[in-house]
Amino acid sequence: MKPLFPFFVLLLFPSMLAIGSPADLVKQRGLPDVLKLQSGSIVTNENQWPQRRGEIVKIFEKEVYGQVPSNSRLNTRTSVVTLATNAMGGKATLKRVTIHSAAAESSNTIQMTLFIPNSVRSSPCFLLLNNRPATNADPSRVQKSDFWPAELLIEHGYAAAVMQVTDVAADNKNSWDGGIFRLFADVPRTSESWGTLAAWAWGASRCMDYLESDKAIDSSAVVVVGHSRGGKTALWAGAIDQRFAGAVSNESGSSGAALARGKKGEQIADITKTFPYWFCDNYRNYAGKPELLPVDQHELIALMAPRLAYVASANEDLWSDPASEFLGAVAASPVYSLFGLRGLVEGGMPQVGSVFHEGAIGYHLRAGTHNLTTEDWNHFIDFFDRHLTRKQP
Ligand code: GTR
C-alpha cells in the first residue's frame, strides 16, 4: 500500500500537480537572463554588474517608461517652511517643502509634506508617492488614513514624507498639457519620450534632493514607497536614483513588480490601452507580445541590488497577479548573489499570510483586496528595521 500513497494524495488534491518550485515556475516563464550582457557573456561578479545594469536601464527607458529630457528647464529650487515643532502631540516636527521649477515660464510646484520624529537625531525616512486623493496624506492629521499612517511611522522612529504625484503631472490623457510636461510643449514627442510614471519618478528624486540636505534626515536610509501605479513608479524611481536605500512596491502588478511573460490579469495590451500616457509610445509595440520585450520586470527589481527591495501582494488582487509579482522577486535574486547577499529568501510559493523577510528582497502576501493598509506598513517597518543600515539615533 505504502508506495501508492502519493498517488492518492494527488487524486485528492489534483492542484498539487500544478505546483512547482518557484525556481521551476520562473524557468517556465522563459525570461530574459538578467545576468546576460548584450555581448552574450554572463556577469559573474559585482564589478561587472554596472555594465549590465546600464544596459537594462537603457532598455526600460527606450521601451517602457521613456527618457527624462536632459535639459536645464528641469532645474529646480526648493523652499522649506517649518509648520510645527510639536505636531502629533509633540512627537514630530512638520515641514512643508516646496519644489519650484526654476524655469521662468513655469509656476509648477511640488509640495512634500514631511513629519520628522523629534526623538531621533537623524531619522530614516519613508517617502510615499501618493497616487490617491490628497486627503490620504492630510498634513493637519484631522483626516487619518491607513494609506499613509504617518503616526505609526513616527512611533517607529521613521520620518514620514509624502509627495502627491499629480503635483508633477496629471494622471490622465491630458498629462502633456500641464505640470512638468508643459515646459516641453514646444518639443515634439518621440516614441521614447517620457510618460507620467517617469515624470513622477523624477519628482521623487527632487524630493530626495531636499531630504539629502536636511540634517534631521539620514539620507542614506530613505525608502521610496508606492501603491499600484505609485508602486510601479517607486520601483522605477529606486532603479534610476541610487540614492534611495530601498524601494517598496505595493501591489504594483503590470509594468511594476509582476513579470509580463505568463502574467494573469492585466496585460501590456490592457495597460497601454487604458493608460497609454504612463509610458513611452514604444511600449505599445509589446501589446499582446510580451515575449518580444527585451526585458521583463524581474530586471526592474534587480536594479535595486545590492540595495533593499520589497514586493507586497494581496491575494484577491488578481488584476495585479500576486504569483507574477512574487516570481518577479524570485527572478531578481541572482543579482544579489553577485554581492554575496541573498535576494528573496522564500519558503515556496506563498500562501495567504506568508511573510519572507530574511533576504535583501522582502515579500508578503496579505489577505484582501487591492489597497495599501496599516498591515502592509507594519510589514515594511519590520523588514526595514531588520535590514536598513541606520546611523545611531
Ligand atoms: C488600475 C491599473 C493598474 C493599477 C491600478 C492602480 O486600473 O490597471 O495597473 O495601477 O489601476 O493604480 O490602482
The larger pLDDT score, comparing residue 11 to residue 243, is at 243
pTM for the structure as a whole: 0.95
Q: Which amino acid is at 372?
A: L
What is the overall mean pLDDT for the chain? 94
Per-residue pLDDT, 101: 87
Confidence band of 357 (pLDDT split at 50, 70, 90) = very high
Pocket test for ligand 1, best of 129, 274, 275, 373 (most atoms within 8 A of CB): 275
Cα(228) to centroid of ligand 1, in Å? 6
How many angstroms does the Cα of residue 235 sit away from the middle of ligand 1?
Answer: 15
Confidence at 102, pLDDT banded by 50, 70, 90: confident
What's at 276, amino acid-wise? P
Query: What is the band of 8 on the pLDDT scale with cuts at 50, 70, 90?
Result: low
pLDDT above 70 for 393? no
Distance 329 CA to ligand 1 centre (A): 20
* CA nearest ligand 1 atom 13, residue: 228
How many Cα atoms within 13 Å fall on the side-chain side of residue 161? 35
Q: Which of 6-15, 166-175, 336-345 has the lowest mean pLDDT?
A: 6-15
- Name the phi and psi angles at 57, rounded to 5: -60, -45
Average pLDDT of span 204-209: 98
**Which tens digit of pLDDT belongs to each residue from 250-266?**
999 999 999 999 999 99
The closest-lying atom of ligand 1 relative to the alpha carbon of residue 271 is: 8
Residues across the chain: 393
**pLDDT of res. 390:** 77
pLDDT at 36 over 50: yes
Residue of minimum CA distance from atom 10 in ligand 1 = 229
pLDDT over 50 (residue 302)? yes
Which burial class, exposed, middle or buried, applies to 355 when counting CB atoms under 10 A from its CB (0-12, 13-18, 19+)?
middle
pLDDT score of 1: 42
Pocket probe mutation, ligand 1, options 229, 279, 325, max atoms within 8 Å of Cβ: 229
CA distance 325 to 346: 13
How many whole angstroms from 323 Cα to the centroid of ligand 1?
17
Residue located nearest, by CA, to atom 8 of ligand 1:
271
SS3 360: coil
From the list 101, 123, 175, 228, the catalytic residue is 228
The burial class, CB within 10 Å (0-12 / 13-18 / 19+), for 52 is buried
What whole-number distance in Å separates Cα of residue 141 and Cα of residue 258?
Answer: 34
| Number of C-beta neighbours around residue 155 at 10 A | 15
Question: In this model, does residue 21 exceed pLDDT 90?
Answer: yes
Q: Which of 319, 370, 373, 376 to mutate to test the pocket of ligand 1 (most atoms within 8 A of CB)?
A: 319
Give me the mean pLDDT over the 141-160 stretch. 98
Q: For 18-22, 117-121, 195-199, 362-366, which range has the lowest pLDDT when averaged over its residues?
A: 18-22
Residue of minimum CA distance from atom 5 in ligand 1: 228
Segment 339-365 shows an average pLDDT of: 98
| pLDDT at position 10 over 80 | no
Distance (Å) from CA 393 to ligand 1 centroid: 38
Among this protein's residues, is 228 annotated catalytic? yes
Residue among 145, 220, 354, 370 flagged as catalytic: 370
Ligand 1 pocket at CB < 6 A: 131, 228-229, 253-254, 266, 271
Which neighbouring-strand residues pair with 1? Answer: none
- Average pLDDT over every residue of 67-80: 94
How much is the pLDDT for 2? 46
Give me ligand 1 centre to Cα 229, in Å.
6
pLDDT of 105 above 80: no
Q: Which atom of ligand 1 is nearest to the CA of 131?
A: 12
Quote the ligand 1 centre to 315 CA distance (angstroms): 16
Give CA 141 to chain center in angstroms.
25
pLDDT at 316 over 70: yes
Q: Which domains does the chain have, with CATH numbers?
A: 18-387 (3.40.50.1820)
